[in-house]
Amino acid sequence: MKIALVDSGLGLLSAAAALRALRPDADLVLSTDPDGMPWGPRTPAGITEHALACARAAAEQQPDALIVACNTASVHALEAIRAELEPDIPVIGTVPAIKPAAAAGGPVAIWATPATTGSAYQRGLIREFAAGVEVAEIPCPGLADAVERADADAVAQAVAAAAALTPADTRSLVLGCTHYELLETAIRAAVPGPTFFGSAPAVAGQALRRAAPAAVATEGNRTLLVLRTGRKEELPPEALTYPEGRAL
């Protein structure tokens, strides 16, 4: 079985590690875009262009399923990627875990990028899945970029700033950017108490359910292919600072 993941950068590591845990034998293709990142400040058309390019590069490897492991790309490019690749390759998007967080009980806090915080997309999810629940939207400027650089000082400052905005009575905290799932330990230290909700386990499970049937490979035969703006390269050293990167 081969699963491909697409993101601008390291945000896909969480879902990739979840896939490794569920299917240690699976071959993985990680398609990122260091030449074009960050995607967040781009126009919707620009995000779609870059996400499609990464998806096409991954699709050349003939995966059994493809995960768009990025909230921003899922908002703007998911339908275009599905239109091009499905039904040959099932495409799974990433949605912030607002529904299970609200079901677990509020108040709920959602940590997300400034572009996503307050967006029509996120507000729509809140209306649909968290009606009647107290929700605080917490912008986290610079946090995804700090994760990408593996800049511990910048991560600590951004986490502290977001923690200061998070209501003290928060019971459920949604990690609304895939990059943030790499920081769960640091965020728990800054915001003790809430139950955390990320998207990686659910996305990984959905990808495996939708993947075409494949023979189980032996653990020694599993492969990891890294595409960086279409080029075959190694995982960047920053990825190896996170347990999820080392697990691959």
Task: State pLDDT tens for residues 170-183.
Answer: 999 999 999 999 99
What H or E segment, with its residue span, contains residue 112?
A: strand 108-112
CA distances from 68 to 25, 35, 93 (A): 21, 18, 5
102 & 135 share domain? yes
CA distance 91 to 87: 9
CATH code of the domain containing 183: 3.40.50.1860
Q: Provide the pLDDT for residue 215.
A: 44
Residue 26 structural domain: 2-94+201-246
Shared domain for 82 and 9, answered yes or no, is yes
Same domain, 147 and 220: no
- Are both 85 and 39 inside the same structural domain? yes
pLDDT in tens, 16-69: 999 999 999 999 999 999 999 888 778 889 999 999 999 999 999 999 999 999
Contacts of 231 (CB under 8 A, 6+ apart): none
Q: Which residues are catalytic?
A: 70, 177
Q: What is the pLDDT of residues 36-49, one digit of tens each?
A: 988 877 888 999 99
User: Do 171 and 150 sit in the same domain of this protein?
Assistant: yes
Helix (H, G, I), strand (E, B) or coil at 82: helix
Q: How far apart are CA 28 and CA 224, in angstroms?
A: 5
pLDDT tens-digit readout, 224-234: 999 999 999 99
- The residue behind tokens 């386990």 is 201
